[in-house]
Amino acid sequence: MRALRAGPGGRVLTGICARKGREMAGAEAPIRVRGAFAFAGLVAGYGASVLFSIFISRMGGQNSSIWTATGFLTGALILLTGRWRVMAVALSLGFQAAVSLAVGDGVGSALLGPAITLLEAAFAAWLAVTYCGARGRRLSLRRLALLIVGAIAPAAMLGAVAGAGMNDLLRGQGFIDGWLAWAIPSGLGMTMVTPALLLIARESQYREFRRSPLEVGGLLGGLCGLTAAAFYQSELPLQFVIFPVLTLVAFRLGPPGAAIAGFFVAVICLPLATLGHGPAAPAPGLDPLGRVRLTQVVVTAALCCTLATATAVAETARLRQLLVSRDQAVRSGLRRARAAERLLAESAGRRAVAPSRRGAQVG
């Protein structure tokens, strides 16, 4: 073995192995960079979600109307691996505990709140990966529906049980009120964030929906402006005006763009509803919390309809591309078959002419 390593063949083999090692290391470098960017984005999104939800809950004088932090943590558990996942969970929950202490929630809330969030996100991520195909190459309408119904909804219900128990223990809040205060904001937040993260991570699978930055900015900026105008006023029921724009976004930007658009709509209209604005404000039979719940229903309906439309359009576009590719393959095969037939005919003609030429030469 030592002689083989010391010989010319051994040196060549060693050089090949070293070159392959360098190529593999070079290929792993972009993967590490993507992992670092995903880690930073998910942790930053979690931190911003915690601050945003606490801010609007303090401004509205009630429980938060939306809690998107669990959606970011669920996305981190699905998309990240190894030490990136561990560091993301540790930093996110540590930040939430620190913010909770800073705003005066008490040690119990600062410790139990992040623990319940982790329980809920871990259960949702496990269901999504095990039963809903969350790590599949492409998320179909069926997988998205399974993700919402089979992973997010059960996890939100389970987490709400633990959250209601914590609120009953620390604040004396009734179980039903505490359960609703946890289940609806957290479930809505996961429905908004987790599919969006999974779709953005698969953006390369939706290349047919890549548009120019000007068009993307125009569509999303116009949607945000229209949503702010419709939900800042409190005189006319203008919830319906966002649906045509969301449909246009679904057709032009596909599932990733539709998920982002639904997220923008929610983070604009829910805080406004919490502060007393919006088309639901004039409703005489609803108290402030009921108006927030009505706005949450509108947001959920808009998000689900937009994702369903975008996914159906994406599946249709994919089927069209497959049919075009198959048609091109059939046409190419026919051209090759015709060329082969011509070659066979020419070869047969040459074989038929050859004996007559030899007979003429003999005569």
**Is the model's pLDDT at 4 over the cut of 50?**
no
Name the least confident of 172-176, 282-286, 358-362: 358-362
How far, in Å, are 7, 29, 40, 70 from residue 34 at the CA level? 41, 9, 10, 22
* pLDDT score, position 62: 53
pLDDT tens for each residue of 72-98: 999 999 999 889 999 999 999 999 999
* pLDDT score, position 77: 94
Name the least confident of 25-39, 54-68, 197-211: 25-39
pLDDT tens for each residue of 290-342: 888 888 889 989 988 999 999 989 888 888 877 887 878 888 888 888 888 88
**Is the model's pLDDT at 10 over the cut of 60?**
no
Q: Tokens 């658009």 identify what position?
A: 261
Q: What crossing angle do the helices spanning 175-201 and 288-362 adopt, rounded to 10°? A: 30
Lookup: tokens for 228? 């702010």
What is the distance between the alpha carbons of residues 137 and 143, in angstroms, rounded to a whole number? 11
What is the distance between the alpha carbons of residues 180 and 75, in angstroms, rounded to a whole number? 23
* pLDDT score, position 3: 44
As to burial, measured by CB atoms within 10 angstroms (0-12 exposed, 13-18 middle, 19+ buried), residue 337 is exposed
* pLDDT score, position 105: 82
Helices (H), 82-170: 82-102, 107-131, 141-146, 153-170
> In terms of Cα–Cα distance, which of 75, 107, 101 is closest to 88?
75
* pLDDT score, position 125: 95
What is the distance between the alpha carbons of residues 231 and 66, in angstroms, rounded to a whole number? 16
* pLDDT score, position 244: 93
* pLDDT score, position 222: 95
Contact 66, 185 (CB under 8 A): yes
The pLDDT > 70 percentage for the chain reads 86
What is the distance between the alpha carbons of residues 319 and 246, in angstroms, rounded to a whole number? 23
Lookup: tokens for 328? 């091109």
* pLDDT score, position 45: 92
Residue 274 phi, psi dihedral angles, 5° rounding: -65, -35
**Is the model's pLDDT at 228 over the cut of 90?**
yes
What is the distance between the alpha carbons of residues 79 and 86, in angstroms, rounded to a whole number? 12
The pLDDT > 90 percentage for the chain reads 37
**Is the model's pLDDT at 35 over the cut of 90?**
no
Amino acid at 266: A
What is the distance between the alpha carbons of residues 54 and 67, in angstroms, rounded to a whole number? 9
Helices (H), the chain: 2-6, 8-60, 69-79, 82-102, 107-131, 141-146, 153-170, 175-201, 213-232, 242-274, 288-362
> In terms of Cα–Cα distance, which of 262, 245, 254 is closest to 302?
262
Contact 91, 43 (CB under 8 A): yes
How far, in Å, are 42, 44, 88, 201, 204 from residue 32 at the CA level? 15, 18, 15, 15, 18
**Is the model's pLDDT at 210 over the cut of 60?**
yes
* Half-sphere CA count of 251, side-chain side, radius 13 A: 5
| Torsion from C-alpha of 211, 75, 293, 263, nearest 10 degrees | -20
Give the mean model confidence (pLDDT) for residues 55-82. Answer: 81
pLDDT tens for each residue of 112-122: 999 999 999 99
Give the mean model confidence (pLDDT) for residues 37-47. Answer: 91
> In terms of Cα–Cα distance, which of 93, 79, 98, 70 is closest to 36?
79
pLDDT tens for each residue of 253-274: 999 999 999 999 988 998 888 8
**Is the model's pLDDT at 168 over the cut of 80?**
yes
**Is the model's pLDDT at 23 over the cut of 60?**
no
User: Would you place residue 235 in the very low, low, confident or very high pLDDT band (cuts 50, 70, 90)?
Assistant: confident
Amino acid at 243: F
How far, in Å, are 191, 262, 278 from residue 84 at the CA level? 23, 28, 40
> In terms of Cα–Cα distance, which of 147, 244, 129 is closest to 193?
147
User: Would you place residue 282 in the very low, low, confident or very high pLDDT band (cuts 50, 70, 90)?
Assistant: confident
User: Would you place residue 217 in the very low, low, confident or very high pLDDT band (cuts 50, 70, 90)?
Assistant: very high
What is the distance between the alpha carbons of residues 208 and 251, in angstroms, rounded to a whole number? 11
